[in-house]
Chain A
Amino acid sequence: MGEDKDITQLLNRWIDGDTEAGDALAPLVYDELRHRAGRAFARERPGHTLQPTALVNEAFAALVRVDITWQDRAHFFALAARMMRRLLVNHASAKLADKRGGNAQRVTLDPAAVSSADQTIELVRLNDALEALAAIDKRKAELIELQYFGGLTFAEMEEVTGMSSSSLDRHLRMARAWLKDALTNP
Chain B
Amino acid sequence: MSTTDWTILERAFEEASSLDNEQREAFLADFTKSHPDLVSKLTDLLRADAQQDDSLEAPIRAAADSYAEATDDIWIGRTLGVWRIDERIAAGGMGAVFLAHRSDSEYAQKAALKIMTGQLLAPDAISRFRAERQILASLQHPNIASLIDGGSTDEQLPFIVMEYIDGRPIDSYCDIEQLEIRERLRLFQKVCDALDYAHRNLVVHRDIKPSNILVDVSGEPKLLDFGIAKLLDAGSYDMTQALTRADARAMTLSYASPEHVLGQPVSIASDVYSLGVLLYRLLTGRSPYDESEDSQRSIESAILETDPERPSAAVTREGTGRLPSAARAQRMLVGDLDNIVLKALQKEPERRYATAAALREDIERYLTDRPVAARPASLVYKARKFARRNLLALAGSVVFAVTVIALVVFYTGKLSLERDAAQMQAERSNEIARFLTSLFDSASPYNAKGQQVTAVELLEQGFERIESLEVRPALQASLMQNIGNNMTALGQQRRAIPMLERALEILEQQPQADQYVLLDVLDILSEAHRQVGAYDEALAYREEAVSLATSLYGPNHERVAFLMMRIGVTLFDMRRVDEALDIEAQALVKLDRIGQRETPSAIDARGNYANSLQYAGRLAEAITTHRETVSLSERVDGELAPNTLIRMANLAGTLVQVGKLREADALIDTALERGARVWPAGYDQFVYFYYQKCQIARRLGDFEEAIAACTEAIEIAKNNFGDQSLFYARPVRDLAALRGHLREFESAARLYDQAEAIVEAGAGADSLTMRIIYVRRAETLLGAGDYARAESLLREALVQKDRMASNTAMFAEALLVDALSKSGKTDDATVLFDEILPSAEARYRDYPAILPVLSAGTAHFRAVGDFDRALALGEQIEQLIAGIGEPMSWSSAIAFSEYGLVLEEIGDAKAQSVLETSREVLLPLFGSDDPRVP
Binding site for B on A (CB under 8 A): 34-46, 48-52, 54, 57, 87-89, 91-92, 95, 116, 119-120, 122-123, 125-126, 136-137, 144, 148-149, 153-155, 165, 168-170, 172-174, 176-181, 183-185
Binding site for A on B (CB under 8 A): 1, 6, 10, 13-14, 17, 44-49, 51, 53, 55-68, 70-72, 74, 116-118, 120-123, 125-126, 153, 155-157, 512, 514-517, 550-557, 594
Q: Least Cβ distance of A121 to chain B in Å?
A: 8
B45's partner among A125, A174, A183 (CB-CB below 8 A) is: A174
Q: Least Cβ distance of B137 to chain A in Å?
A: 22
Residue of A nearest to B60 (CB): A148
Interface pairs (27), CB distance under 8 Å: A36-B155, A37-B64, A37-B118, A38-B71, A39-B118, A41-B68, A41-B121, A42-B117, A44-B123, A49-B61, A54-B514, A91-B70, A95-B66, A120-B62, A120-B66, A136-B6, A148-B56, A153-B552, A154-B554, A155-B551, A169-B556, A173-B49, A174-B10, A174-B14, A176-B48, A177-B48, A180-B51
User: Which residue among A41, A46, A49, A120 has the maximum number of chain B CB atoms within 10 Å of its CB?
Assistant: A41
Docked CA distance A92–B70 (Å):
11
Docked CA distance A180–B123 (Å):
27
Docked CA distance A184–B50 (Å):
13
B153 engages A176 (CB within 8 Å): no
B65 engages A149 (CB within 8 Å): no
Docked CA distance A88–B13 (Å):
31
Q: Least Cβ distance of A43 to chain B in Å?
A: 8
B44 engages A181 (CB within 8 Å): yes
Given A119-B62, A180-B56, A38 contacting B13 (CB threshold 8 A): no
B59 engages A119 (CB within 8 Å): yes
Docked CA distance A183–B116 (Å):
35
Docked CA distance A50–B55 (Å):
13
A173 engages B61 (CB within 8 Å): no
Q: Least Cβ distance of A161 to chain B in Å?
A: 12
Residues of A within 8 A of B56 (CB): 126, 144, 148, 176, 179-180, 183
Given A42-B68, A174-B13, A177-B46, A88 contacting B556 (CB threshold 8 A): no
Residue of B nearest to A46 (CB): B123
B123 engages A168 (CB within 8 Å): no
Docked CA distance A180–B47 (Å):
9
Docked CA distance A179–B58 (Å):
13
Q: Least Cβ distance of A180 to chain B in Å?
A: 4
Q: Least Cβ distance of A64 to chain B in Å?
A: 16
Residues of B within 8 A of A178 (CB): 45, 48
Residues of B within 8 A of A154 (CB): 550-554, 557
A126 engages B48 (CB within 8 Å): no
Residue of A nearest to B238 (CB): A46
A35 engages B74 (CB within 8 Å): yes
B59 engages A122 (CB within 8 Å): yes
**Dominant secondary structure at the B interface:** helix
**Dominant secondary structure at the A interface:** helix
A52 engages B66 (CB within 8 Å): no
Q: Least Cβ distance of B921 to chain A in Å?
A: 56
Docked CA distance A183–B52 (Å):
13
Top 9 A-B pairs ranked by shortest CB distance?
A119-B62, A155-B551, A154-B554, A122-B59, A181-B48, A180-B48, A123-B59, A39-B155, A177-B49
Residue of B nearest to A89 (CB): B63
B553 engages A119 (CB within 8 Å): no
A34 engages B71 (CB within 8 Å): yes
Residue of A nearest to B47 (CB): A181
B67 engages A41 (CB within 8 Å): yes
Docked CA distance A169–B67 (Å):
30
Q: Least Cβ distance of B74 to chain A in Å?
A: 6
Docked CA distance A92–B153 (Å):
27
Residues of A within 8 A of B514 (CB): 45, 54
Residues of A within 8 A of B10 (CB): 174
Residues of A within 8 A of B6 (CB): 136-137
Residues of A within 8 A of B53 (CB): 176, 180
A38 engages B117 (CB within 8 Å): yes
Residue of A nearest to B53 (CB): A176
Given A51-B516, A154-B554, A123 contacting B63 (CB threshold 8 A): yes
B118 engages A88 (CB within 8 Å): no
Docked CA distance A50–B63 (Å):
11
Given A38-B68, A42-B121, A123 contacting B60 (CB threshold 8 A): yes
Residues of A within 8 A of B44 (CB): 181, 185
Docked CA distance A185–B516 (Å):
33
A41 engages B64 (CB within 8 Å): yes
Residues of B within 8 A of A37 (CB): 64, 67-68, 71, 118
Q: Least Cβ distance of A176 to chain B in Å?
A: 6
B60 engages A88 (CB within 8 Å): yes
Residues of B within 8 A of A122 (CB): 55, 58-59, 62
A88 engages B63 (CB within 8 Å): yes
Q: Least Cβ distance of B477 to chain A in Å?
A: 13
Residues of B within 8 A of A50 (CB): 57, 60-61, 64
Given A119-B63, A120-B62, A177-B49, A42 contacting B57 (CB threshold 8 A): no
Apart from the given pairs A48-B516, A91-B63, A122-B55, 8 other A-B contacts in the complex at a CB distance below 8 Å: A39-B156, A39-B157, A41-B118, A50-B61, A120-B66, A123-B62, A153-B551, A180-B49
Residue of A nearest to B1 (CB): A136
User: Which residue among B60, B68, B125 has the maximum number of chain A CB atoms within 10 Å of its CB?
Assistant: B60
Given A35-B74, A148-B57, A173-B49, A42 contacting B554 (CB threshold 8 A): no
Residue of B nearest to A125 (CB): B59
B63's partner among A38, A42, A120, A177 (CB-CB below 8 A) is: A120
B62 engages A116 (CB within 8 Å): yes
Residue of B nearest to A181 (CB): B48
Docked CA distance A181–B13 (Å):
13
Residues of A within 8 A of B57 (CB): 49-50, 148
Docked CA distance A30–B204 (Å):
45
B48 engages A42 (CB within 8 Å): no
A44 engages B121 (CB within 8 Å): yes
B512 engages A54 (CB within 8 Å): yes
User: Which residue among B44, B67, B74, B512 has the maximum number of chain A CB atoms within 10 Å of its CB?
Assistant: B67
Docked CA distance A179–B56 (Å):
8
Residue of A nearest to B153 (CB): A39
Docked CA distance A44–B156 (Å):
12
Residues of B within 8 A of A43 (CB): 156
A41's partner among B1, B17, B65, B553 (CB-CB below 8 A) is: B65
Residue of A nearest to B556 (CB): A169
A42 engages B62 (CB within 8 Å): no
B552 engages A155 (CB within 8 Å): yes
B48 engages A88 (CB within 8 Å): no
Q: Least Cβ distance of A151 to chain B in Å?
A: 9
Residues of A within 8 A of B515 (CB): 153
Q: Least Cβ distance of A183 to chain B in Å?
A: 5
Q: Least Cβ distance of A170 to chain B in Å?
A: 6
Docked CA distance A134–B66 (Å):
26
Docked CA distance A136–B7 (Å):
10
Docked CA distance A75–B754 (Å):
71
Q: Least Cβ distance of A34 to chain B in Å?
A: 7
Residue of A nearest to B122 (CB): A44
Residues of A within 8 A of B67 (CB): 37-38, 41, 87-88, 91
Given A39-B117, A179-B56, A165 contacting B555 (CB threshold 8 A): yes
Docked CA distance A127–B227 (Å):
38
Given A153-B552, A173-B556, A42 contacting B116 (CB threshold 8 A): yes
Q: Least Cβ distance of A168 to chain B in Å?
A: 7
Docked CA distance A37–B71 (Å):
8
Q: Least Cβ distance of B502 to chain A in Å?
A: 20
